[in-house]
Amino acid sequence: MLLTQCGVKRGDVVLLVYPPGLDFIVCFVGCLKAGVVSVPVYPPSPGAAKDLLKLVRVQSSCGAKVALTNGAYMRGTNLAGLKSFLLGRRLQWPELEWWVTDGARASPLPLQKLPTK
């Protein structure tokens, strides 16, 4: 699924932006099987500029263009982004193509591509 739906090829680098848990492990093993280089990154707090700066640095260092995460984290980042917008704060997210991998292990359902932040 990673190779066919996300446009990732063997040898490409992807960020794994997951909290500790089974979602991370399943995605990590999937990347190994697909021949994709995975770079684990602890999910940054969406409203904290210093956390986002760390994500930007890791992304620019490894050259990843795709980030994989779970739906719970994406919902949290969307709510935090709305809050930041309403408070007038502008936070800079890295230029990444985000994919939610919920359900990918259970069946061959399509992954959900998210708009770039």
Of the two residues 87 and 73, the one the predictor is more confident about is 73
Tell me the average pLDDT across 82-99: 61
DSSP codes, 38-107: EEEEPPPPTT-HHHHHHHHHHHHHHT--EEEE-HHHHHHHHHHHHHHHHTT--------EEEE-TTTTTS
Of the two residues 72 and 105, the one the predictor is more confident about is 72
> What integer pLDDT is reported at residue 36 of this predicted model?
94
Q: How far apart are CA 3 and CA 104, in angstroms?
A: 13
pTM across the whole model:
0.73
Tell me the average pLDDT across 42-65: 84
CB 10 within 8 A of CB 33: no
Residue 37 pLDDT grade (very low, low, confident, very high; cuts 50, 70, 90)? very high
Q: How far apart are CA 107 and CA 104, in angstroms?
A: 6
Fold for domain 2-105? Rossmann fold (3.40.50)
> What integer pLDDT is reported at residue 4 of this predicted model?
73
What values do phi and psi take at 105, rounded to 5?
-80, -25
